[in-house]
Chains A and B, each alone.
Chain A
Amino acid sequence: MTLKELIATIAKGLVDHPDQVSVREIESDNNALIELRVAREDIGKVIGRDGRTAQAMRTVLTAASSKLGRRSHLDILD
């Protein structure tokens, strides 16, 4: 799905190990839960100082979701 690809694209740009980026999308009705996993040493890169990078990804994800008439939530798993 496209929201999953969106998060994968962003995460791969941010990390040192793009091959270790994996994203899962769990759908229910109009909601999507996006789970992002990256290499252990890349977790800081997708969260960012004070969570700013994660927040920016969520803002972009929300904008993309609303165009699709959906809601979504991003979880960064470690």
Chain B
Amino acid sequence: MEPVDNDDPKSVDEKIDSAQVDDDQELVLPRDADKAPFNAADDAPAGQDDRGDVAWNFLTDVLREMQMEVTVHRRKPREDSGPDEIRLEIVGHDAGRVIGKKGQVLAALQYLVSRVVNKPGQPRRHVVLDAEGYRERRDASLATMAKRLGQQAAQEGKIITFEPMNPRDRRVVHLALAQFADVVTRSDGEGEDRRVRIIPVRK
């Protein structure tokens, strides 16, 4: 059997570097005021993370131009993620519009923020946008499903292949099964047709 080079699920989609983001400050989206809306009551380290600031500023500007009544919060990276993750959460009256059908608008915004933050020649920073907990809820159900299918793959000794998914969703599956000793996960196929396979490990 060919060795499966898949012990690090992060390498499949996104490379994580080790920059530090340790703030969890609340940031208020001004309607037309200039930037610097850092909440004084929670003045943890603004300015410690330039690329996190770039992400927040860009998203804030775009949402303002979209005339969305929302605020953007800076969140700590998730525990199952690298410490370099830039995580922003959008809350407020127009959060539903910002999410869009099937999360399409949120996904588009996240993609654009990631393009702005990740210019060539820099270590890649993972960018996650959420709105009113939408992605978190969705990721949680996808991870639950992945674990169930992981058990099934291990029990039945067969490879289970997912529908094509975007990099973000594939990553959720890889991470959900990273601790499963009985299976490995890998992505195959190109572009829109890329899918995750859960492969039982022979003992």
Contact = CB atoms under 8 A, between A and B. Distances in A.
B100 A6 contact: no
B124 to A, nearest CB: 15
Contact of A9 (B65, B107, B109): B65
B129 to A, nearest CB: 12
B143 to A, nearest CB: 25
A9 B108 contact: no
Interface string A43-78: 001001010110111011001101110000000000
Contacts of A66: 97
**Interface residues on chain B, size class:** 20 to 34
B115 A60 contact: no
A26 interface: no
B105 A60 contact: yes
Interface string B107-148: 111011001100000000000000000000000000000000
B62 A14 contact: no
B115 A2 contact: no
Contacts of A63: 66, 97-98, 100, 105
B65 A5 contact: yes
Given A63-B98, A63-B105, A2 B65 contact: yes
A6 B65 contact: yes
Contacts of A57: 108, 112
Contacts of B49: none
A73 B62 CA distance: 17
A58 B7 CA distance: 37
Nearest to A64: B66
B7 to A, nearest CB: 27
B67 A67 contact: yes
A13 B63 CA distance: 14
20 contacts: A2-B65, A5-B65, A9-B62, A9-B65, A10-B112, A13-B112, A13-B115, A14-B115, A53-B115, A56-B111, A57-B108, A57-B112, A59-B100, A60-B62, A60-B109, A63-B105, A64-B67, A67-B66, A67-B97, A68-B67
Interface of A: 2, 5-6, 9-10, 13-14, 45, 48, 50, 52-53, 55-57, 59-60, 63-64, 66-68
